[in-house]
Amino acid sequence: MAISTAITTALYLTRPPAKIAEPEHQPVSVDVAEVVKEKLRIEVQAQGTVSPMQETSLLSEVNGRIIETSPSFNVGGFVSKGEILVRIDPRDYETNLLRAEAALKSAQSNLAQEKGRAQVAEREWQRLPEGSQRSQEAKELYLRKPQLDQAQAQMLAAQADLNTARDNLERTRIRAPYDALIRQKHVELGQFVAAGSQLADIFSVDYAEIRLPIPQSKLAYLELPGLDGSESGSSIDVYTDVGGEVKHWTAQLHRTEGVFDERSRVLYAVARIEDPYAVHHPNREPLRIGTFVNANIEGREIDDIVTLPRFVMRAGNNLWVIDDSGRLRNRPVTLLRVGGDLAYISDGLDNGDLVSLTTLDSSFDSSEVSIQSTTPSNLLDQQGRPRPQSGDKKAGKITAAVESPPDDSEGG
């Protein structure tokens, strides 16, 4: 026991003097984005169903039996403008035409005779003594003017009957009013049809249309067509999955329907696609009527927008910004839109500002930082990594997608 006490006392007396060490402050390592303001086009995404621009139900205007149909007169058949789809037995109408022609010739002959009689009567009237000429009514009767008017009226009626007979004969040939596809047919060869009978339903293949719902909050991002239809709107990328492969078509914003839907508060914009069935472009994939498609509508150009990955945003629309002394500062910004994994900032940042891409909590406020990497904000992808330079970035402009459900909220 005495030995242990002696050893302890000796160690205590020979201990080295205590040194007070200053705490070491290690800078926080961060990756930063250098702010670059851009001209930005925000795409508005919508969905819709392809529908025909023109659709017509063909009806018979005359009675008769169908004696001939076009080889293309089948459901799904393509027909050209002016092509005869159905022929109705024309014999009765050819007979009526002959009768009308004969009646017209008879009326013309009768009119010519009345004109001759009127000329003879006029010469006789001129030879009558002065005292024998009576009232104007008597003169017109003597000169056969009522008979001449009647003959002219009969001639006009005969001409009208002839025109009707010709029209009825032409109506026995049912022609396509435009380049079309037959959606449905209602008659067959040999069937008797009456005037007003439905023959077929067809729709135009020159253009197709898509109704796209645009929420009121997204209208400011788009270049809408003029109310009078004189100005074209934004271009649209239409796409859908065809056989496991995504196919794209180019459309144009043609018009809006002019009123908001009372239930969903959306404005329907109508996109128009040229030659959807690729009749004139055989190498292109056809876009069939009834296809459900997605649409990216190109937005109008907006100046001085900063694009950053969404994950760098903090509560209350704040960002970590590196100040001139190299310390972290919490800065509020104005958020224009959040689309997907990107945030679009319209105010609160200037060109050259350094924004931290490293996620840090509030305890790091005013901490000194060590910058590990710096990437211009316009070259970042959605994960905050430098993105490869490709064709999706041209002339300092980038494209951003904004979805279009009506209940999408503004800001972060």
pLDDT in tens, 278-325: 988 888 889 999 999 999 998 888 888 898 998 888 888 899 999 888
Average pLDDT over residues 70-76: 94
Instruction: Please check the confidence at residue 401 and state whether its pLDDT lies above 80.
Output: no
Q: Are the C-beta atoms of 184 and 57 separated by less than 8 Å?
A: no
Q: Are the C-beta atoms of 222 and 300 separated by less than 8 Å?
A: yes
Instruction: Please check the confidence at residue 397 and state whether its pLDDT lies above 70.
Output: no
Name the residue ranges covered by the structural domains of the chain: 28-40+303-402, 46-52+206-297, 55-80+178-204, 91-171
CA distances from 155 to 69, 108, 163, 204, 296 (A): 38, 6, 12, 42, 64
Q: Are the C-beta atoms of 104 and 164 separated by less than 8 Å?
A: no
Instruction: Please check the confidence at residue 128 and state whether its pLDDT lies above 80.
Output: no
The pLDDT, as a whole number, for residue 133 is 58
Q: Do domains 28-40+303-402 and 46-52+206-297 have the same CATH topology?
A: no
Question: Which distant-in-sequence residues (6+ apart) come within 8 Å of 354 by Cβ?
Answer: 32, 33, 34, 35, 321, 322, 371, 374
Indicate the class that CATH gives domain 28-40+303-402.
mainly beta
The pLDDT, as a whole number, for residue 400 is 44
> Which stretch of 136-145, 258-267, 359-368 has the lowest confidence by average pLDDT?
136-145
Nearest to 223 by CA among 255, 246, 191, 196: 255
Backbone dihedral angles phi then psi of residue 226, each to the nearest 5 degrees? -65, 155
What pLDDT, in 10s, does the model give residues 217-239? 888 888 888 665 556 678 899 99
Burial of residue 234 (CB within 10 Å: 0-12, 13-18, 19+) is: buried
> Which stretch of 109-113, 377-381, 387-391, 407-411 has the lowest confidence by average pLDDT?
407-411
Strands (E), 121-223: 173-175, 180-185, 192-193, 198-204, 207-215
Count CA atoms within 13 Å of residue 355 on its CB side: 31
The pLDDT, as a whole number, for residue 264 is 87
What pLDDT, in 10s, does the model give residues 336-388? 888 778 888 989 999 999 999 888 888 888 888 888 888 898 888 777 788 76
Average pLDDT over residues 160-175: 95
The pLDDT, as a whole number, for residue 407 is 41
**What is the rounded CA–CA span in Å between residue 325 and residue 349?**
17
Q: Per-residue confidence at 1, pLDDT binned at 50, 70, 90?
A: low
Mean pLDDT computed over every residue of the chain: 84
* Single-letter code of the amino acid located at 98: L
The pLDDT, as a whole number, for residue 392 is 44
Nearest to 51 by CA among 293, 290, 294: 290
The pLDDT, as a whole number, for residue 181 is 95
Instruction: Please check the confidence at residue 405 and state whether its pLDDT lies above 50.
Output: no
**What is the rounded CA–CA span in Å between residue 199 and residue 186?**
5
SS3 state at 289: coil
**What is the rounded CA–CA span in Å between residue 236 and residue 364?**
45
Strand partners, 368: 327
| Neighbour count for residue 331 (Cβ, 10 Å) | 16
The pLDDT, as a whole number, for residue 144 is 76
The pLDDT, as a whole number, for residue 50 is 96
More confident residue, 107 or 403: 107
CATH number of 46-52+206-297: 2.40.30.170
Enter the pTM of the model.
0.70
What pLDDT, in 10s, does the model give residues 196-219? 999 999 999 999 999 999 998 888
